[in-house]
Amino acid sequence: MGELAGVPAVWNDVDPKIEVEYNEWYMQEHLLERLSVPGILTASRYEVVGPGTKYFTWYKTSSVAILKSPAYLQRLTNPSDWTRRCMLHFRNMNRSACRETLDLGRGVGSATTTMEMKAAASKEDDLRQRLSSSLFPDLLRSPGKNGIIRAHLWEADLEVTTRKNPEEALRGGKDRVVDWVVVLEALSTTAAERAASELAAYPFAGRGAESVSPPYVYRLLHYLAGPDGR
């Protein structure tokens, strides 16, 4: 088995007064800047459908180690003027550097469902096995009917996540961090909403989870592949 892919994942709200500029910054500068770092393969950006933190952004990297590489740290420690201006207006920030421990299915969905959870102590392997052998295969069994085409499990790497981050200081508060995240990619927001209902009804507590947060649905805004991800 090769090295696990890395996933820096971000959920945030933004001050509505700068929302147009915020979206311009993401699409014209920030995603491209991140994708210029060797080892960052793709970038995906979403907007919430219904309740939940408004924006969700994640990047796929060749490994979590990319997020402490000199090239990546150079970006973090030298934010552009535009980044400095926009970061002042981030709200309810959740930023986590994760290892992708499960990735079943294929493709990029036009919508996604995300759900945070925490594994009970000493039950991590049981929960991971249940997801990989039962829940994820069941969700992916009929993508044409159910509309679920890919299922991910991301597990936070706290050592990487909690490293000193100058951009966090710009935002003026402590970022929240996930433990585990289930991410389902779907063909439509309707399919993602059905998947959210299935996740909400699944007996995670009896399968090794200590706690589970409500699932949220997002629609894809922007997907980009970097030079290493084409």
Q: Where are the domains of the chain?
A: 6-225
pLDDT at 222: 92
130 Cα distance to chain centroid: 21
Residues of the chain short of pLDDT 70, as ranges, are 1-2, 172, 228-230
Residue pLDDT, tens place only, 69-124: 999 989 888 899 999 999 999 999 999 999 999 999 999 999 999 999 999 999 99
pLDDT at 30: 95
Half-sphere CA count of 55, side-chain side, radius 13 A: 21
Beta-bridge partner residues of 175: none
pLDDT at 186: 98
CATH code linked to domain 6-225: 3.30.70.100
Q: What is the 3-state secondary structure (H, E, C) of the chain?
A: CCCCCEEEEEEEEECHHHHHHHHHHHHHHHHHHHHCCCCEEEEEEEEEECCCCCEEEEEEECCHHHHHCHHHHHHHHCCCHHHHHHHCCEEEEEEEEEEEEEEEECCCCCEEEEEEEEECCCCHHHHHHHHHHHHHHHHHCCHHHHCEEEEEEEEECHHHHCCCCHHHHHHCCCCECCCEEEEEEECCHHHHHHHHHHHHHCCHHHHCEEEECCCEEEEEEEEEECCCCC
pLDDT at 99: 96
When computed from its CA atoms, the radius of gyration of the chain, rounded to whole angstroms, is 17
pLDDT at 119: 95
pLDDT at 228: 54
Question: What pTM value is reported for the model?
Answer: 0.93
pLDDT at 160: 86
Beta-bridge partner residues of 94: 11, 176
pLDDT at 159: 87
Dist CA 98 CA 161 (whole Å): 8
